[in-house]
Chains A and B, each alone.
Chain A
Amino acid sequence: MSLLALSNVSVRYGRLTAVRNVAFTLAEGELLFITGPNGAGKSSLLRAIAGVTPPAGGRIDFADHDITGRAPEDIARLGISMVPEGRDVFGSLSIEENLMVGTGMHARTRGWRARAATELEAVYATFPILKDRRHTQAGLLSGGQQQMLVIGRALMTHPRLVAIDEPSLGLAPNITDQVYERLIALRAERKLTLLIVEQSSTRAMLAGGRMMLMRGGEILLDGDARALGQSEAMQAAYFGYGEQ
């Protein structure tokens, strides 16, 4: 049984179609990279899944719920945690406050405070730098620290699926290595399902897993990241060789 299933999903901004009839399924525990050039519709696809830009057509199911057109907060409460592009930290809130914002969604369940405290310690154990600076305003952190913060914040709600848009954007390569190392470790630890958007396929090839290539709002290729990354079909599809 798949955790996430998209069928025929389209996203439009006015007359511009950003995502065209996209369909795929994602199994629990899978690692999926969506790559593709600028303007391929990758971010729009994530925004549609998160409910920020409701799809113009098609259907999205998550964990046996039809989430098409549902509000972002409802989708988050079902277990999808989004890390949008550009590291949207709450700059005037402290690191710890940033981490705690999402835990309120479980306030109706018993013992949520204790569980939130446990989650907080777990995030601090994964990213010790956040603990050292936990009362610092998040806006003062470096890019890499902010990236760790938003990933930690996404984990605080105990999601089943974490969707991350361009975790390497604006980061030095060695920091990106660190971020990925943590992500892959977390996936094994928590049996997380990960959906990562990246422009280049390099990271996907290093990390392994499944990779899809998007271009012009459509999914052109779908397969094993390492095999696909080295194929000529990949290059041709990415750059659009052989098309008019």
Chain B
Amino acid sequence: MASLLQVLFDALSLGSLYALGALGIALIFGVMRLVNFAHGDVIAFSLFALLWPSTDAVAIVFAGNLPWFLLIPFTLAIGAGLSVLSELVVFRRFRRANPATMMIASFALGFVIRYFLLMLFTSRPKSIALLPALSQPVEILGARIPLLQLITILVTLAVLIGLTLFLRRTRFGLEMRAAAENFTMARMLGVRANRVIMGAFALSGALAAASALILGSQTGTANIMMGANVMLMAFIATVIGGMGSLAGAVLAGFLLGAIATVMQVILPPDARAFRDAFVYGAVILVLIFRPQGLLSARGAKERV
């Protein structure tokens, strides 16, 4: 019972991380058909923004020492700011380009961000103690769950509820949903293209920063490549969720987290090193049977 609970929490917290990343990618894909591969580097940047540039193995923390109620908004603002900046400087010029061109531009932007971090911090992972109070375990029904896992799950839930309310209850949210489904039609109804796209980038950047905080506290290290794995999983989650479907992205994110955790438990010890191969195998199976994704976005459907 206790170990089952442990697995459940592992699955949920890993899934939360993937779901947050997938949401960040799906939000932008929804409004401008861009798969933003720089998302993972925005994650890394948001964490490194809390440190002073140095080549030491132990990070010289500057903003990271802020109390949590300042630290969190500060980090979210960094992520949102960088994301909006990338829209203004890079992606705005590709508005009329085809999706493949935009995707390549996002790769390029990702490299720029990564090498900027490399220049300032070197490629050496740095140990940081972010929000140390969170590494305490708590006991639930006999299982010892790290407090951080619990917080990760709760934060993700709060983000999901908040985002849903925003999209369903506010005028700006309505405009974003309309634009995600048919951008041109939304513009013909007076919806401002630039504002909607900037809004999507800001939200996506804030989500990246939330992932950065969770990853940073979980691993206790800051690594310029830290976003790469989450980015890859998140991208896969948006694909199997149905490109552009936010609910699908979240669902698939949790599904991937669950598959990865369960594989870790049930695979024989010798095969555990190859866990990801089994996870991607499961992804291929999903795509064979549902190539349009679990929940396909309505707007992507062909019209007669």
Contacts and interface: CB of A to CB of B under 8 A. Distances in A.
A2 interface: no
A157 B188 CA distance: 11
Given A86-B303, A104-B171, A139-B298, A73 B192 contact: yes
Interface in A69-92: 71-73, 76-77, 81-82, 84, 86, 88, 90-92
A101 B191 CA distance: 8
Nearest to A101: B178
Interface stretch (B106-114, B146-154, B179-187, B232-240): B179-187
Interface string B190-202: 1111000000000
B148 to A, nearest CB: 36
Nearest to B184: A52
Contacts of B186: 90, 101
Contacts of B178: 90, 93, 97-98, 101
Contact of A90 (B177, B187, B301, B303): B177
A5 interface: no
B189 interface: yes
A232 B191 CA distance: 45
B188 A76 contact: yes
B175 interface: yes
A104 B175 contact: yes
A23 interface: no
| Chain B, interface residues (CB within 8 Å), range | 20 to 34
Interface in A177-221: none
Interface string B45-87: 0000000000000000000000000000000000000000000
Q: Which of the listed residues A50, A77, A90 has the most CB atoms from chain B within 10 Å of its own CB?
A: A90
Interface residues of A, number: 27
A179 to B, nearest CB: 19
A16 interface: no
Given A88-B182, A93-B177, A97-B174, A76 B187 contact: yes
Contacts of A88: 182, 184-185
Contacts of A93: 174, 177-178, 181
Contacts of B184: 52, 72, 88
Q: Which of the listed residues A72, A81, A82, A157 has the most CB atoms from chain B within 10 Å of its own CB?
A: A72
A107 B192 CA distance: 12
B68 to A, nearest CB: 35
Contacts of B192: 73
Contacts of A105: 189-191
A92 B297 CA distance: 9
B187 A71 contact: yes
B172 to A, nearest CB: 8
A81 B171 CA distance: 19
Q: Which of the listed residues B181, B188, B298, B304 has the most CB atoms from chain A within 10 Å of its own CB?
A: B188
A104 B174 CA distance: 9
Nearest to B196: A73
A107 B191 CA distance: 11
A102 interface: yes
Contacts of A84: 185, 188
A153 B190 CA distance: 12
B125 interface: no
A81 B185 CA distance: 10
A77 B190 contact: yes
B199 to A, nearest CB: 13
Interface string B265-304: 0000000000000000000000000000000011101011
Contacts of A73: 187-188, 190-193
The 9 closest A-B pairs by CB, nearest first: A105-B190, A102-B189, A72-B187, A76-B190, A88-B185, A92-B298, A101-B178, A91-B298, A82-B188
Given A101-B174, A101-B178, A104-B191, 7 more contacts: A52-B188, A72-B188, A73-B188, A82-B188, A90-B181, A93-B174, A102-B191
15 contacts: A50-B188, A52-B184, A71-B187, A76-B189, A76-B190, A84-B188, A88-B184, A91-B298, A93-B174, A97-B174, A97-B177, A101-B175, A101-B178, A104-B172, A157-B189
